[in-house]
């Protein structure tokens, strides 16, 4: 009888743990990239990106392609491990430096929020997860968002 009581207690604990694991998996599964959030940025003035409360808090790396398209990578994660100094962040870097940074960050858990900008407008927004990280978008990543957010 004592064995049966102990067994039942263990099974109850196991059921609770299993329920928590399933719930955590379902919550994590809710975080994903929504196409409408990406599309919302197309054609928006770059000033909205410059002043966006979420992206403003992230380190950014910028480069300009041969055709004049600016590529901005707002790194949400541990991308800081990929530079020896802060010279990469903030200003515009050449394509070789940007490529070197991108190669490094590919192995770091981060969401790279990549924006393509030309003639003062956002052409495209492409969040890319690296190092096992998964990106997500929500109302806080939309162009006209203002307010508090957790990222």
Render pLDDT for 99-133 as a digit per residue (tens, 0 to 9).
777 777 777 888 999 999 999 999 999 999 988 88
Q: In angstroms, what CA-CA distances link 138 with 42, 60, 90, 96, 130?
A: 16, 20, 25, 33, 19
pLDDT per position as a tens digit, 51-89: 999 998 888 888 999 999 999 999 888 655 676 555 566
For 19, the enclosing helix (H) or strand (E) is helix 2-30
State pTM to two decimals: 0.72
Strands 110-118 and 121-130: antiparallel
Is the torsion defined by CA of 98, 104, 106, 111 positive or negative?
Answer: negative
The Cα–Cα gap between 107 and 105 comes to 5
């Amino acid at each position: 009888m004592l064995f049966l009581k102990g067994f039942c207690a263990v099974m109850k604990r196991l059921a609770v743990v299993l329920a928590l694991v399933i719930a955590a998996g379902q919550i994590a599964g809710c975080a994903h990239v929504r196409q409408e959030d990406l599309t919302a940025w197309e054609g928006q003035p770059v000033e909205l990106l410059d002043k966006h409360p979420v992206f403003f808090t992230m380190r950014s790396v910028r480069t300009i392609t041969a055709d004049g398209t600016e590529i901005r990578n707002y790194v949400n994660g541990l991308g800081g491990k990929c530079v020896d100094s802060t010279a990469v962040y903030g200003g515009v870097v050449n394509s070789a430096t940007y490529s070197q940074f991108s190669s490094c960050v590919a192995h770091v858990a981060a969401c790279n929020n990549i924006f393509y900008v030309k003639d003062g407008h956002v052409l495209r927004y492409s969040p890319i997860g690296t190092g096992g990280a998964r990106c997500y978008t929500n109302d806080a990543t939309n162009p006209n968002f203002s307010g508090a957010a957790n990222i």
